[in-house]
Structure 1
Amino acid sequence: MKTIQSYLASVALATLVLLNFACSDDPNPIAGEPDLSLVEDEFVINSSFEDLDFLLLDVIQTSGLGLRTTQTTELCEGSSIDHDTATKTIIVDFGAGCTSSNGVTRKGKIILNYTGTNFLFPGASVTTTFQGYEVNGIKIEGTRSLTNAGIDLINSKVSLKVKITDGKITWPDNTFVTYTTDQTRLVSLASSGYEASVTGTASGTSRDNKSYTATIIDALIVKEDCVNTGVYVPSSGTMTYSYGTTTVGVDYGGGTCDKVIKITYPGGSKEITLD
């Protein structure tokens, strides 16, 4: 339920200028409110990877591997895409850094290794690794695999299995989180853009070294029209975060493209606006 526009989004993860955020001030905090910094870190992770997905969908299509019905890749000046069909490798190179028209600054390289000749074929996969890759000053490391788990041609939907191993996101102050996921993204394709329904789990350690698990309860919905306006926060869905003896619930709302979420914890709840 949203009563007040970063992922994830999770997953669900980044700004296209949302990687640095703050909570709205609460003049009347509820006594016993737990430390929510771990939950906030997860929003940065999700936004980072939503930004990555948005970019990779375009790169895959631009490279002739199929997936979406429109091409909107907008690499900033000085960046490049190198596609080696012999080794089935695509390297997206942002060099020392450049800023896209919507305000996202990226640097370093994204390296894609794929199987098959068209990502629309079940079983086809794309594995992503990084070399010095940063988005708005946030460094991303690890290995991310996308596997086509099935396609519904009648309804223009593709089911993608998503796994992140050895994930690590580092802030400019050198604090970092570690991150792994096992999720499914059901992507609906249309001429007007895509919509992703995300389910599954994630786990890792926070910037203050707290171990946690995150479970999606009701599918997180990420819409391209929201992403195009810089909103990487899911427009709807719910999930829980568990760390120590604390369990926190997060409600992303009822479908509006905004950055408002509701967090529920033992003894109270609060709304947070992600900036």
Structure 2
Amino acid sequence: MARTTYQELLDAGVHFGHLTRKWDPKMAKYIFMERNGIHIIDLNKTLAKLEEAASAIKQIVKSGRKVLFVATKKQAKDIVAEQAKAVNMPYVTERWLGGMLTNFATVRKSIKKMSNIDKMTKDGTYDVLSKKEKLMIQRERIKLENLLGGIADLNRLPAALFIIDVKKEHIAVSEALKLNIPTFAMVDTNSDPTNIDFPIPANDDATKSITLITNVIKQAIIEGLEERKRDKEEEAEKEAAAAKAKVDSGEEPAAEVAPKRERKAEATEAKDGE
């Protein structure tokens, strides 16, 4: 079953590109026609590319890895933050810090600093500080939260990036390219799609268009998470059956089976939390 339809894309205004004078010639193959000085995107190609992107993201998530959502433009940031939170994925919606991927170790230090401030408020250290020191710490905490709050739980580099407006987020695209991190993105008629692994030709300015495309990606992530959960449950059932068979045949004492299963479950949880 298709994740969306031609009519839904049409109703959301996904086909409206930029003024013809602002176009990027590399987007020519995704443009259907020109109308009243505006390029019209070929929605049949959008449908195909969106399905391709959603399927690939689903497989990434199914393997237990994270997709980083990136959108700092005003009309996209709230939509993207909401959709990313819904599937527990990291996101950047305030400002892309140069080196967020290529200098990830330093970014992790800043995240740790934010965590340490939170610890101070819990263990009582914060209470003994002067009013001026408290104010400085509060300001720093707010600044760090705005910049890094969406990636606070990201312990390693993301497996992929989902980007709204590759022209605006060119630094993120460049860093992903250097690190060979796959990129998925809404690409409008004024942008270069050649550096994007999974370009989705679409209007990246209208809130309806952004909401629809982002929602399709979110649903693909949900599918990936559910399939991963099912696979783990099936694997656990198979192991339990195999262990029971060994006990029944006398190959392994019953007392040793349960601790082994518990240790494996703990190891799997630890890996998922990375």
TM-score range with shorter-chain normalisation?
under 0.3
Relative to its length, the structure with more strand (as a share) is 1
Larger radius of gyration: 2
Query: Given the two structures, how large is their TM-score scaled by the length of structure 1?
Result: 0.23
Query: Given the two structures, how large is their TM-score scaled by the length of structure 2?
Result: 0.23
